[in-house]
Amino acid sequence: MSKQYPVRGMGPNLKKVLLATVSAAVAGASASAAFAQEAATAEVDEIVVTGFRKSLSDARAIKQDSVIQVDAIVAEDMAKFPDLNLAESLQRLPGVQINREAGEGRRISLRGLGPDFARVQLNGMEVLGNVDSAQDSRGQRSRDRAFDFNIFASELFSRVEVEKTFEAAQKEGGMAGTVGLFTGKPFDYGTGADGALSLKVGTNEYTEDTQPRIAALFTQNWDNVFGVSLSAAYSKRETTEQGHNTYNRSNPSAATMRSLVTKGLNISGLSAAQQAKLLSGDLYFADGNRISSWNAEQERLGLTAAVQWRPMDGMELTLDVLHGEFTTRRNEYHLATRPLASTGSVAFDTAAGGVWPSIFQSASVINGLTWDSDNYVTMTDVTGATFGSEHRRSLNENKFNQVALTGEWEMSDRLKFDGHVGWEKSTYDTPYDDKLYMRAKGNLIANYGENGQSASFEYPNWDPTNPANYAMDSFYYRAFNNESELHEGELNARYELNDTWTLRAGVAYHKFRQQGEDLFYDDNVNGTRSKMRGTAVGDVTSVFTNAFGSWLVGDYDKAFAKYNEYHRLEQNKDGTGGALQDIENVYETTEETLSGFVQGDWDSELFGRRFRGNIGLRGYSTDTHSTGWIQGDNYAYLGTTDVEGSYEGVLPAMNSVLEVTPELLVRFSATQNLNRPGLGSMAAEGSAFQDSSGKITASRGNPNLEPYKDNTLDFAVEYYFGDVGLMSASLFHKDIKNFIETVRFTDVPFSETGVPYSTIPGATASTIVNEFSMPVNKEGRVELTGLELAAQSQLSFLPAPFDNLGVVANYTYIDMPDDLTGISKTSYNATVYYETDRWGARASLNYRDKWYTGYNTAVMSASTRGFEGGTYVDAAAFFNITESLQLTFDAVNLTNEKDTQFWGQNEYLYNQNQSGTTYTAGLTYKF
């Protein structure tokens, strides 16, 4: 409990160095492309490419051979993906942006659209898997379509592909693109037995723990007739994120401020102008001035198995099984302003009254304050502020299982069938997510800088580690669970009509189900407030220290023992506490889709040049069904809503590639695709209330929402040279409709709401609901245009030893409306590598600029939220001790980048934290 988490000074800024190197290298590659190609092939009959270069070469081949727009990342060797995290690998591709959690990649945004619009498939099956975040502002507990890439260890995968354009043969969905994850198969490797074992150990500069990371792969291939492969990956690490944050802002009215002064709030030390401004009701205050530390222990386990069998020529069966577990044990510590007799979580308070000790029985004194031109208070100097010390602990368990059987059968030289059937299930459980609150009385100077975009806190003449300044408050007990399940099957046929045309057709069935509930047992119900509040803390606390201060935090074991408490969601065994009231987000949603496609693939000539592509139609019919609780005052269960919906349509798609030369490709695509509505919007759960005047208000989700739909045009030029060389430019335009907004209807009969009228006593089907709100598809369209530039080259034209240098770089710009959230308008990535047969090293820089998670045109609206731009630098190196034994080194987040969130159009500080640099060293043995 008393462990300190030190902070290190900012590491070396490699941004300018890397960008200068990459700029020069790419310019050189462009000017010398023909020479580079000649140098790559001169005086040798065959070139053996290994390591990172091999990964780039294999990925380039996938891109070049594909008819649709594809970018890929391929494992460097057995159980050796290029990065420690799949999302961190994906960020090296043009058009892909990631967000990080405790320094590790979590979710991706793709081609101008947020994480909900990027579909992820695992071994051909769509996959949904959500983990939790320590912070509400980052989507603390998600039930959506976005995929969290930190669920799986990267060592389990042999390649990742990002399909950026749509074809009819691909299942509909993933309007931004489809990310395909592929585990290793026995026929991917040579005949006989092969294997690899990787043992790594790491640490983080803040946590200074020992972080093991183990991966193993074994495969047996019997002459490409029958094969078995097994892999396992396990890792454990401590993480910490620490910094300053607020809850956003509070705007107390003039009446509220006058009431606080009447109750004793002392503002006599302020000037007349300051007093008038304070009492005007115009000022916006930071609602919670908080220093925080989010600490966690994470364990990740992944197991895969694959069996392949060729029972006859032209037939191949593959059975894939994957099991993943991701467990987080988190302890969060916060010291924040939390008044007992004031408003919101501002820094000033009045006398607490009640059972609180004498130090809480005096009002705050505001010694000084400043504000900006938009009335945001940028500094407060308060004597006698009331604080809350919060220790939050949680256990979060995510389990994922998938079984997929894939088959291919070449009946003849012209006719081929393929397909798969599969099942997967993802469970996310939080057995406990508890809060232990204490209160303290002290002094605070909170300074957010002249522009409100920084933070520093001082505690003059006050000791936050002295138990005499604290009193106990209460416990909150919470738990959450969520479950997703998928059944899927598809069958496709391919018939070669002639040397030019191949006809493809297929059908697919997809049934998805998700359910869950959130349980809250707050202190006003569970009885802990009455037995704990105001009591001494000396025997149940310890001192916590991080880079921003030291303060007292509550100890669960000691406090549980003292107050005869334990994690519970029911009345205490000693008879204290009432029944659990607050049960929220109770719903079950299912989607059942039957789809089919017909597609023609051609490979011919145009003006004497090879011209290939496909054109097709995909039809779909989706039925939705959702049941959910309707709740009223004090979250009381009033009834269950049962709503069905459906939609159907046809999506055309055309992709073409003109090979001006074998090295120069021109691509053009015109496609339509869809993205299914967010799960939260579809959920039938809601509320119903009747006030004292008889006015009824109700709300619910809408399973009958239409999917988002887009028309996309894509044009790209690609030039391939040398072993790994590539230069490409892609321009795309998306025209999207059916965005979703919540609309409020007035004077609607109960029968038209989908909410059971029995939720209101005495109501009938014709009873008027005065206000009814529900998500609906809004009118109008949203357009975005994007530019992607990419280049990679092995600089073999340079004199030795510099001919072993290589570069990979990309740049993306998105022209889009500000209210399209989850994406940065500008991002770029650059990697410089040096590789020989014996050793190699590389460094990568990734940048994305500001992006919004919510948007409102009002200057001071807290609905506007987002993240400031950030630059992350990672590095990796290897040394081949022997042909079979390799030493590796990795460093993640070398510059200890700050993660900064803001609110409002002025981008006031909301949250800023750092997670430290993580270093990993290890050995990999191949046999």
Is residue 810's pLDDT more than 80? yes
Amino acid at 293: S
pLDDT-based confidence at 191, cuts 50/70/90?
very high
The residue ranking higher by pLDDT, 81 or 397, is 397
Amino acid at 820: L
| Predicted confidence (pLDDT) per residue in 612-662, tens digit | 999 999 999 999 999 999 888 877 888 888 889 999 999 999 999 999 999
**How many whole angstroms from its chain centre is CA 777?**
25
| Predicted confidence (pLDDT) per residue in 847-902, tens digit | 999 999 999 999 999 999 999 999 999 999 999 999 999 999 999 999 999 999 99
Side by side, which strands form the sheet with 549-554?
A: 4-5, 541-546, 549-554
3-state secondary structure at position 469? helix
549 forms bridges with which residues in the sheet?
A: 546
The answer to whether 202 and 107 are in contact (CB under 8 A) is no
Expressed in percent and rounded to 5, the helix, strand and coil fractions of the chain are: 15, 55, 30
The answer to whether 432 and 387 are in contact (CB under 8 A) is no
Is residue 31's pLDDT more than 70? no
Taking alpha carbons only, the member of 388, 390, 373, 372 closest to residue 448 is 372
| Predicted confidence (pLDDT) per residue in 285-309, tens digit | 999 999 999 999 999 999 999 999 9
Residue 15 confidence (pLDDT): 36
| Predicted confidence (pLDDT) per residue in 524-551, tens digit | 999 999 999 999 999 999 999 998 999 9
pLDDT-based confidence at 585, cuts 50/70/90?
confident
> How many residues are listed for the chain in this entry?
927
CA 105, 111, 114, 116 torsion-angle sign? negative
CA distance 256 to 279: 9
Neighbour-count burial of 729, counting CB atoms closer than 10 A to its CB (0-12 exposed, 13-18 middle, 19+ buried): middle
**Packing angle of the helix pair 15-31, 33-41 (nearest 10 deg):** 80
Phi, psi (deg, nearest 5) at residue 400: -135, 135
Phi, psi (deg, nearest 5) at residue 765: -60, -30
Taking alpha carbons only, the member of 328, 346, 391 closest to residue 140 is 328
| Predicted confidence (pLDDT) per residue in 426-439, tens digit | 999 999 999 999 99
pLDDT-based confidence at 140, cuts 50/70/90?
low
- Tell me the two tokens of residue 793: 């080259």
- Tell me the two tokens of residue 371: 């504000």
CA distance 824 to 93: 15
CA distance 823 to 816: 9
98 forms bridges with which residues in the sheet?
A: 108
Taking alpha carbons only, the member of 788, 122, 821, 42 closest to residue 423 is 122
CA distance 714 to 71: 14
CA distance 242 to 710: 41
CA distance 478 to 567: 8
Around Cβ 449, how many Cβ atoms within 10 Å?
14
Residue 79 confidence (pLDDT): 74
CA distance 434 to 156: 34
Angle ∠(448,451,457) on CA atoms, nearest 5:
10
Q: What is the DSSP string of 504-519?
A: EEEEEEEEEEEEEEEE
Question: Rounded to whole angstroms, what are the CA distances from 838 to 200, 590, 878?
Answer: 20, 54, 8
Taking alpha carbons only, the member of 369, 370, 368, 366 closest to residue 383 is 366
3-state secondary structure at position 913? strand
**How many whole angstroms from its chain centre is CA 385?**
36
Note the helical H segments in 32-140. 33-41, 51-65, 86-90
**Packing angle of the helix pair 254-262, 272-279 (nearest 10 deg):** 120
Residue 28 confidence (pLDDT): 37
Buried residues in 371-410 as b, exposed as e (16+ CB within 10 A):
bbeebbbbbbbbbbbbbbbbbbbbbbbbbbbbbbbbbbbb
Phi, psi (deg, nearest 5) at residue 151: -65, -40
| Predicted confidence (pLDDT) per residue in 357-396, tens digit | 999 999 999 999 999 999 999 999 999 999 999 999 999 9
Half-sphere exposure of 219 (CA within 13 A, CB side): 25
Note the helical H segments in 101-171. none
CA distance 920 to 181: 24
The answer to whether 712 and 784 are in contact (CB under 8 A) is no
Half-sphere exposure of 642 (CA within 13 A, CB side): 2
CB contact set of 607 (below 8 Å; sequence gap of 6+)? none
- Tell me the two tokens of residue 10: 């900012």
pTM of the shown model: 0.89
Which stretch of 93-107, 189-203, 302-316, 725-739 has the lowest confidence by average pLDDT? 93-107
Residue 767 confidence (pLDDT): 94
| Predicted confidence (pLDDT) per residue in 478-514, tens digit | 999 999 999 999 999 999 999 999 999 999 999 999 9
